Chains A and B, each alone.
Chain A
Amino acid sequence: MNLTVGQELPARDFKITRDSLVRYAGASGDFNPIHYRDDVAQSVGLPGVLAHGMLTMGLAVQVVVDFVGDSGQILDYQVRFTKPVLVDAEKGATVSVAAKVIEIDEETKLARIDVTAVCAELTVLGKAQVRVKI
């Protein structure tokens, strides 16, 4: 795999709907109702139904997976959840993900790629770092 420091990987927009949240709930086993019920979300003081943070984390890394072509090359992946992704019942939400190569360590054969994820002009993941085998 040819990576250079400063290289930007092809970005991807992810359209999330309420269906996506139900699908992720089933796949992950996280059935917290704030991810599919407006009434429950509002009762705990949220502006509406939110995407699972782990869904945002899971889809954001796909920009790196798409590029390296093998999920198994991702050795280390971390994020901070900075803002929630609000998913409107009709319009859904779009999370735009970009990624950039930050450093390449020839000794350990690891590259660090940082990911940015933006929804409604807010950065929803912080310190999102992926370490991949090169």
Chain B
Amino acid sequence: MVNPQIEGKIYPRTSSYLVGREKIREFAKAVFSKDPANLDLEAAKALGYQDLIAPPTFAVVIQERSLATVLADKEAAIDFSRVVHGDQRFIHQRPIVAGDELTSELKVASVKALAGNSMVTFETAIFDARDQLVCTAISTLVVRGGA
């Protein structure tokens, strides 16, 4: 079971992640995007963006960097092999754009016990190089209880 004491815990800012143009194209193809703003620089610029913009779920890549710090935290005691993704939400202030240098800060919003399982909700705030909020990623993991 997940340590309920980590509720409210804030994990340190991750190191900066530079969003690459080809990474956006690679991710866009992997999620079957046909959006020219993800794939074609001229099309993205015609819409007023500085560079290619990322698909709406790309922020998961940044969220994962923060989640890795939690999974490595012995105090949290989360057994990754028992983790199932319960739900996920992304609230964007603006799209992620190629060239962005992003950091993230994760807060453990809640830890609940339910039918022998733990449900942990994380809120990851993603910031750009000017420290402006770009996206809030909210993720609930279900950690199945031990046999």
Q: A residues engaging B (CB < 8 A)?
A: 14, 20, 23-24, 26-30, 44, 53-55, 57-59, 61-62, 65-66, 69-72, 74-81, 127
Q: B residues engaging A (CB < 8 A)?
A: 23, 26-27, 29-35, 37-38, 47, 49, 53-57, 60-61, 64, 81, 84-92, 94-95, 138
The answer to whether B38 touches A71, judged by C-beta atoms less than 8 angstroms apart, is yes
Contact of B92 among A65, A66, A76, A80 (CB under 8 A): A76
A110-B57 Cα distance, complex, nearest whole Å: 19
A59-B38 Cα distance, complex, nearest whole Å: 14
A79 with B35, Cβ < 8 A, contacts A23-B29, A44-B81 known? no
The answer to whether B85 touches A61, judged by C-beta atoms less than 8 angstroms apart, is no
The answer to whether A54 touches B27, judged by C-beta atoms less than 8 angstroms apart, is no
The answer to whether B60 touches A74, judged by C-beta atoms less than 8 angstroms apart, is no
Chain B facing A: main interface SS: mixed
What's the A-B contact tally at a CB cutoff of 8 Å? 105
A81-B94 Cα distance, complex, nearest whole Å: 25
Contact of B64 among A27, A29, A55 (CB under 8 A): A29
The answer to whether B31 touches A70, judged by C-beta atoms less than 8 angstroms apart, is no
A9-B134 Cα distance, complex, nearest whole Å: 28
The answer to whether B29 touches A57, judged by C-beta atoms less than 8 angstroms apart, is no
The answer to whether B47 touches A58, judged by C-beta atoms less than 8 angstroms apart, is no
A70 with B47, Cβ < 8 A, contacts A62-B31, A75-B92 known? yes
User: Which residues does chain A contribute within 8 Å of B64, judged by CB atoms?
Assistant: 28-30
A82-B53 Cα distance, complex, nearest whole Å: 29
**Min C-beta distance of A69 to chain B, whole Å:** 7
